[in-house]
A and B are shown apart, each in its own frame.
Chain A
Amino acid sequence: MIDMVLIGNFIFLTLKNAVPLILATTGEVITERSGVINLGVEGCMIVAALVGVVATLLSSNYLVGLLLGGLVGALLALLHGLVTIVFGANQIVSGIATTMVGLGITSLLGRGYVGRSLLGLRPSPLYPYDIPLPDYLKPLVVAIVKQDVVVYISIIIPILCMWFLFKTKLGSAIRACGENPVIAESLGVDVVRTRLLAVGLGGFLVGLGGAYLSLGIVGTWVENITAGIGWVAVGLVAFSMWVPLRALLASYMMASLISLSYMLQGRVGISTYFLAMIPYLTTIAILAIVSVERFRLRLGAPAALGKPYIREERLG
């Protein structure tokens, strides 16, 4: 007989674990659509995770924690944005540096919060009541229904972003900056401002994801809480071909693998440490897959991704 409880657990974990991935990937999709690569996602996420915990403790409200986490994520992303968009610096190195800053700051500032309990302040299930259903159905429904509101929001956000990117003028402007900033500028778009907006917006979503990681999933602050999940998100962006809806699917795929690796711990003969490698190996694999179809899927990439744009005055 199929163990429904097991499957129910699996679905529950997956839906929950996917949230930071969905938010971070979608956020980075927006940023990269404008032509800017933000490799500081890991740094933004971890900073937001810490701020989320601290803010929640101080305000006794996890929504405040989430929002402030998002804000802080946006701020750090904008630092990267300033250096790369305004100063035209190398986006890759700047992103790596931003992550270092994020990791360093949280390591220093977070010492007092390691393991602090968030009892009662964490996001709670939206539907707290019991569900009167037979045993073979109940675990499935519970897994879906007993999630906190953020999980549901995380499904709506990519849909919203689809509308935003493809059906609004601002979304078109962002995409134009990513395709050809020179032409975009001549068509009337303020490339610098639009890119900064995209970076900030993306950073906010990334921050939301990071804050949920500490508030909703782990439940407290520990050092290196992100363990590379931000980087995985960056990989997922390419895999989802810069389309938010696909980012949703890709995130669920990755989250299911992560949940699987948790659940296999101790059951199968593979050491925990090797199971822990799964998300990283998978990321490498999907990056390879994306690149094989390079003629087709490369078309999804914003043409001007990674190239700095400086609005210079001609000396004339």
Chain B
Amino acid sequence: MFRVKVLRRYEVSSRFKLVTYLTSFIVGVFLFILFEVLLGANPYEVVDRLFVRPLTSYDDLRVSIRYAVPIGIIASGLLIVYRAGIYSIGAEGQMAVGAVFAAWAAYTLSLGSPTSVVVALLVGVLGGIIWGLLPATLKALLNVNEVLTTLMMNFIAYSLVDYLIYGPWRSPKSYGFPLTEPIPTVFTIPTHDGVPVINFLVFTLVVFLTYVVTKMSKLGFQIRAYGLNPSTAYASGMSFFKVVLLSFVISGALAGLAGALQLLSIHHRLGPKSWSVTEGLGYTAIVAAWISRLEPLAMIPASLLMGALVNGGLAIKAVLGQSEGVVNLMNGMILLSIVAAEFFINYRLVIRFR
């Protein structure tokens, strides 16, 4: 038989890390493709729809960028909480509530443009922050597990949106589809060729700010300390309460912003499932955050990559007649592979045959 020994690695070069992560990413995607093939899909078709077109054809590239932007904005926020060791998965709910708040602003306020857009966006940011406050306070005060609380908030957000679109905000003109009225045009964000340029600018700004905060600010230092060794960080006098609350506020704000942007520029109305503003991007952003290894600069290619994959995944769904589960499955497989890759970075396997 063979004998496997596990040895710890002490020195790991960044190049090695990069190669390992890329490999694991490819493995994850490969597993996904494998699964599709098992479902009866043509592998070439899958690869083509998944990779080639979203990144090469001009039309598809635009759509990929359109997805990449909200993913990137949310992922920047997630990057901050994850670096602090806080595993918030509430981006989806915060995004939805951000959109809800922005919609409320669009329906109730009457302002001139461009103030209208700015106000709606700010209100959306507020919505995202508010949605994260409950899990944030529970964690900051009582160290309640944030994975479960943020997730619960997601489900509550779904119910909230359902309530609104089936109830008070239901559009009488929607012929059986539960949708809301479109928002007044004064609140919409213009797109060029389908790509909301403003969003893209916001995205770059967000990435830049994230970089500054994580690498150069005092908060970033505390976040890093808590993420690496929470007991020492606490013993050194760093405030757990402040770090938790601020990280949550930032990630909630960004998720809410992304939701508001999606509403104002692309969807223009709220609806369930496929018409809904979030399109599951809150979860995709989680994958993007982990792919980027929580490094702000890597966020840009990571978001683009995930945007392309979402685009490709949805294309597969349409072309091959599958459901949205495609995106979920892809996300899951990539995430699993990446997470398993950590092992190979920290340890070396030695297999001896006898």
Q: Which residues of A contact B (CB under 8 A)?
A: 39, 43, 79, 83, 87-90, 92-94, 96-109, 111, 223, 227-228, 231, 234-235, 238, 271, 273-274, 276-277, 280-281, 283-284, 287-288, 290-292, 294, 310-313, 315
Contacts and interface: CB of A to CB of B under 8 A. Distances in A.
A313 B138 contact: no
B6 interface: yes
A123 to B, nearest CB: 27
Instruction: Name the 6 nearest CB pairs between A and B, nearest first.
Output: A107-B325, A104-B329, A100-B332, A101-B332, A104-B328, A97-B335
B258 interface: no
Nearest to B321: A111
B156 A280 contact: yes
Contact of B326 (A99, A104, A228, A283): A104
Interface in B153-189: 153, 155-156, 159-160, 162-163, 166-167
B144 A287 contact: yes
- Chain B, interface SS category: helix
A238 B346 CA distance: 31
A288 B148 contact: no
B217 interface: no
16 contacts: A89-B340, A90-B342, A93-B87, A93-B290, A93-B335, A97-B339, A103-B328, A103-B329, A106-B325, A111-B323, A223-B323, A273-B162, A280-B152, A291-B142, A312-B347, A315-B7
Given A288-B142, A288-B144, A105 B8 contact: no
Given A97-B339, A280-B156, A292-B142, A310 B325 contact: no
- Chain A, interface SS category: helix
Given A108-B39, A108-B325, A273-B166, A96 B286 contact: yes
B336 A97 contact: yes
Nearest to A281: B156
B143 interface: yes
B336 A92 contact: no
A291 B339 contact: no
A87 B340 contact: yes
Contacts of A99: 332
Contact of A101 (B8, B87, B142, B329): B329
B8 A315 contact: yes
A238 B145 contact: yes
B208 interface: no
Most buried by A among B142, B147, B152, B166: B152
B292 interface: no
B322 interface: yes
A271 B165 CA distance: 13
B333 A101 contact: yes
Most buried by B among A94, A284, A291, A292: A284
A101 B159 contact: no
A88 B336 contact: no
Contacts of A238: 145
B283 interface: yes
Interface string B184-225: 000000000000000000000000000000000000000000
A134 B326 CA distance: 55
Contacts of A287: 138, 144-145, 148-149
Contacts of A101: 328-329, 332-333, 336
Nearest to B5: A313
A51 B308 CA distance: 32
B60 to A, nearest CB: 22
A104 B323 CA distance: 9
B134 interface: yes
A271 to B, nearest CB: 6
Nearest to A83: B340
A90 B336 CA distance: 10
Contacts of A111: 322-323
A89 B337 CA distance: 10
A182 B7 CA distance: 16
A169 B340 CA distance: 31
Nearest to B347: A310
B266 interface: no
A315 B342 CA distance: 20
B10 to A, nearest CB: 9
Interface in B255-296: 283, 286, 290
B300 interface: no
Given A90-B342, A103-B328, A105-B325, 12 more contacts: A89-B339, A94-B339, A97-B331, A100-B329, A104-B326, A231-B148, A271-B167, A277-B155, A288-B138, A310-B8, A312-B6, A312-B8
A272 to B, nearest CB: 8
A312 B7 contact: yes
Contacts of B306: none
Nearest to A101: B332
Most buried by B among A79, A97, A103: A97
